[in-house]
Structure 1
């Protein structure tokens, strides 16, 4: 092989090894132009151009070769890069205490289509997972889009490496249900292409917020959120979920914040799970949970429309104090550089941000010295987007192998 051919082959190999990192940069919005892509990858402009062209040929991104120069700018304007909104999608599915939802999600965390399910999940995990997969299969048929994989979010810690739902406390599934195997089997039976993945719902919400939402730019991101019932937490460290030795890390819902408080499903008393979730808020506000809407929706509506009611305001302050105590303990242990709150906790933050931040600062060592930013989650369906991130990961790791 002559020198020119060797150089060409070496350049091609470097370019192909950069496909995954380049796609992730465009996927997360960190490389809006080819010039930024070149700098982030540390390659030549020619190599970055070849990488972008190959990703475009795979139908994953778009390259705008005729961008308009900004007014007053100097030099040649760089090609703009964006995800291809007509490209492949993944199937994202979520099961929660009030039902399920299926969605098709493209690169960039963009939800293409959704299909909500029933309000009462079946006690048989196979039945409800089969129903959500059928709903997703219907979306795929209607869209005609290529599917690159599937991800499922469940309201339970998911034990590794078996993929079992260890503690589905707020749905009637048996502990230890093999949800990953069930989901993969239903995906194959529905004829859906690509691998299937399963994870805890708040873990996946945190991953979505880290890549596309309120956690972008953080290095150590703590996410705490109420679902339709209960409380979950997750930690993202330098882009990776911290799962612990067997997938069970950050069960923050079972931190005790009120030793004389409500009995918890875990056997303890006064846990965040039962002191700061939607049912706790409605009970503290003297409201009867209604069957017509979810507990989360009812709680958020109450905060929006009746916050001036003394009982509602008192309930809000009570939950904020409990939540702040739990967050302060987590700050002392984990030392995150940002906290994002989801579900009802996001609404509590919006209702009285000063009170929550004050409680955390007063009760945490690091809060007094500099403060930890406490921000709302910004994605409306972050759990679905996070489930999609699981399915997109093999493509982000190696686009050619996953799609070629």
Structure 2
């Protein structure tokens, strides 16, 4: 490295993390945009981009070309390195688990098929999903720089215990983070230096999904993003403020599933009645439509298929979908009044509800919000597949985004 480039890089060293995050989230497709976003000189932006390329994180187009008919010097294009390092992402839910390798940009590089049952011993299922991820790493030969786990429970910080795994047969207080890290060490998953163990992180699955949507999906560009969704069982919520998850004083914020919307409604696992958790999840839709759950697929898949295949032809399905939309709208209106987000993204079955009749849902939210229709917040369907997996990966990518050189030993 020349002395000039060294000097420029020293001036821009603090910009390495912000620069990587801009490329990671698709906000800096060229070096010219990177220069403007960072507020540095073109030479410093060039040195920063070159260092990130040396670390194997991004690619820089060495011979940029300008589109026909345009004038001026073409800017070097920037992109995440498709052959660069990955993180091991894992998700456990009520109907199984899945492991994946995820690169920068939220790109899923490889996945391992999920199992159909979840053991009552969290150590057993976490060991299995880590083993599946370790096999993917061996098969691809990719460098691993971290690992993230998403679980259907509030995860206390900093101890990493699952405090309310209501839809799993796990005991409250299961030490999921310690177990995850022990399993990573036991499987010999290497870290950035090539030696095990890799550092593991754990979070609630909706928190993880919200982070993914904010960086790579329908929530990109929002300052105050509210994400609400229902997966296989129950309802969760998450809030992203200025790019960071709001997890409260100890990781337990945004348990929105236990907002009461029907005081005399269905009994909830929390001991109350009529919570969003049991009034707007897949079981609630099937019950409202008069359908018995089948054994052939997850409840989420069955509920989504019911809306997709029969919403337009079966009055009972259409009525049940409308009922859940109205219930969900009540809960969202309360959250909008309290949190004042600039965007709401709906995931899981709730995505299917807004896609079925978004106008009805937005109308309920607007009618019951403090500001009425003139100030109604956009309510959008999520756009990512496997958002909790991608979000689990974001947990592991965060140290790299914060300090690329320090984390990767450059």
| TM-score, scaled to structure 2 | 0.96
Pairing 1:278-317 to 2, within 5 Å after superposition: 278-307=282-311, 308-317=313-322
| Conserved 8 A contact 1:91-1:104 | yes
Match of 1:26 in 2: 23
Secondary structure class of the residue paired with 2:319: helix
Residue of 199, 207, 232 corresponding to 1:195: 199
| Conserved 8 A contact 2:237-2:257 | yes
Once residues 89 and 348 of structure 2 are traced to their aligned partners in structure 1, the CA distance between those partners, rounded to angstroms, is 19
Secondary structure class of the residue paired with 2:202: strand
Once residues 304 and 292 of structure 1 are traced to their aligned partners in structure 2, the CA distance between those partners, rounded to angstroms, is 17
Once residues 85 and 288 of structure 1 are traced to their aligned partners in structure 2, the CA distance between those partners, rounded to angstroms, is 45
Pairing 1:299-378 to 2, within 5 Å after superposition: 299-307=303-311, 308-378=313-383
Secondary structure class of the residue paired with 1:152: strand
TM-aligned CA deviation for residue 368 of structure 1:
2.9
Pairing 1:50-69 to 2, within 5 Å after superposition: 50-69=47-66
Once residues 372 and 140 of structure 2 are traced to their aligned partners in structure 1, the CA distance between those partners, rounded to angstroms, is 48
| Conserved 8 A contact 2:8-2:43 | no
* CA displacement, residues 106-165 of structure 1 (integer Å, 9 cap, x when unaligned): 000000011122211000000000000000001001000000010000000001111100
| Structure 1 residue ranges (4+ consecutive) displaced by more than 2 angstroms after TM superposition | 7-12, 366-369
Once residues 70 and 348 of structure 1 are traced to their aligned partners in structure 2, the CA distance between those partners, rounded to angstroms, is 42
Q: Does residue 269 in structure 1 map to residue 263 in structure 2?
A: no
* CA displacement, residues 362-384 of structure 1 (integer Å, 9 cap, x when unaligned): 01113433210000100011100
Once residues 23 and 9 of structure 1 are traced to their aligned partners in structure 2, the CA distance between those partners, rounded to angstroms, is 19
| Conserved 8 A contact 1:235-1:242 | yes
Once residues 264 and 44 of structure 2 are traced to their aligned partners in structure 1, the CA distance between those partners, rounded to angstroms, is 63
Q: Does residue 93 in structure 1 map to residue 90 in structure 2?
A: yes
Once residues 270 and 153 of structure 1 are traced to their aligned partners in structure 2, the CA distance between those partners, rounded to angstroms, is 26
Match of 2:252 in 1: 248
| Conserved 8 A contact 1:256-1:271 | yes
Residue of 120, 128, 137 corresponding to 1:131: 128
Q: Does residue 260 in structure 1 map to residue 264 in structure 2?
A: yes
Once residues 325 and 53 of structure 2 are traced to their aligned partners in structure 1, the CA distance between those partners, rounded to angstroms, is 48
| TM-score, scaled to structure 1 | 0.97
Match of 1:149 in 2: 146
| Conserved 8 A contact 1:123-1:173 | yes
CA distance 1:8–1:278, shift in 2 (3 Å):
closer
User: How many residues of Structure 1 are paired with residues of Structure 2 in the alignment?
Assistant: 400
Gaps (5+ residues) in structure 1?
Answer: none
Match of 1:393 in 2: 398
| Conserved 8 A contact 2:5-2:47 | no
Q: Does residue 166 in structure 1 map to residue 166 in structure 2?
A: no
* CA displacement, residues 81-109 of structure 1 (integer Å, 9 cap, x when unaligned): 00000010000000000000000000000
* CA displacement, residues 197-222 of structure 1 (integer Å, 9 cap, x when unaligned): 00000001000000000000110000
TM-aligned CA deviation for residue 397 of structure 1:
0.8
Secondary structure class of the residue paired with 1:65: coil
* CA displacement, residues 300-322 of structure 1 (integer Å, 9 cap, x when unaligned): 10111111211111110110000
TM-aligned CA deviation for residue 9 of structure 1:
6.1
Pairing 1:4-15 to 2, within 5 Å after superposition: 11-15=8-12
| Conserved 8 A contact 1:56-1:62 | yes
